[in-house]
Amino acid sequence: MKRAGQKSKPVPPAAREYWDAVAEEWTANQRFALWRRHSDAINSALLRRWLPAQRAARLLKTDLFDEAVTQGLYPLLAEYADELVGVDVSPGIVEVVKVRFPALNSRAADVRELPFADASFDVIVSLSTLDHFDSKQDIEMALNELARVLQPGGHLLLTLDNLSHPAVWLRSILPQRLLLGLGLVPYRVGTTCSPRQLELYCRHSGLELECTTAVLHCPRALAVASARLLEHASVRTQQHYLKFLTLFERLEDCPTRFLTGHFTAIHARKPGKGRIPETSAETSARE
């Protein structure tokens, strides 16, 4: 097992350079700013339901792209942890985040081989990180690493592109060059899996499942396109638009949630007694 002081496996230069370039373009041009606000709001609502009621000593966030181009989830996560650590494959993104959020301990690292000792974190938040790899084996490797650095009793809050969603399934069988050329995706996307497969991978990594659901239920392609048209609309118009998009999240309560939700969301825990016994939702239910 990895111990403190070990270095992570070097990330391929091509991957670093690609994500450096994407982050630079998005930061400079404020691309998809309105859509990102909606995405951040949906993720924040999910995390407020699942984050522990007790403040974590250390929380790890994988992927710092959101924090590089928007406020991201940093303001929310900072409320829940004494120390917030973030990792990203792109050194460029890490440098931007270090300037924007000096209190966030940001490091360039590959989530498949993390530079942390076993049981280093009480909580891990990994939102749409593991769906940028080339194979499902990479997803399994990353989950094994996340489980390794999670302390017994700790929480993993994870989202991944939902292969049961028709649009995600169609995207998965089309050539990447075609998707980018037609503007159907804003950057390179990787492989992903169905909700059932993801649950299986989590169990194989030694994690126990607390909850599996689906989030982001609005028609994404249409929502992104309309959000771009409203980038320069009035604040009031944008607020009404974001409120309208949020109404689609009611579909999470329907039996068809995995056909409408773009992301599979999983709350898992590592077996054993830890410092953080319950989530906010669990505490409310008990009371």
pLDDT per position as a tens digit, 36-55: 899 999 999 999 999 998 89
> Is the distance from CB of 109 to CB of 61 less than 8 angstroms?
no
pLDDT per position as a tens digit, 219-249: 988 898 899 899 899 999 999 999 999 999 9
Task: Give the CA dihedral 273, 206, 211, 166, nearest 10 degrees.
Answer: 160
Which helix or strand (DSSP H or E) is residue 180 part of? helix 176-181
pLDDT per position as a tens digit, 59-84: 999 999 889 888 889 999 999 999 99
> Is the distance from CB of 263 to CB of 213 less than 8 angstroms?
no
Burial status of residue 109 (CB atoms within 10 A of its CB: 0-12, 13-18, 19 or more) = buried
pLDDT per position as a tens digit, 88-143: 988 888 998 999 999 999 999 999 999 999 999 999 999 999 998 889 999 999 99
Tell me, yes or no, if the pTM score tops 0.75.
Answer: yes
Q: For the chain, list the domains and their CATH numbers.
A: 13-270 (3.40.50.150)
Which amino acid type is present at position 225?
A: A
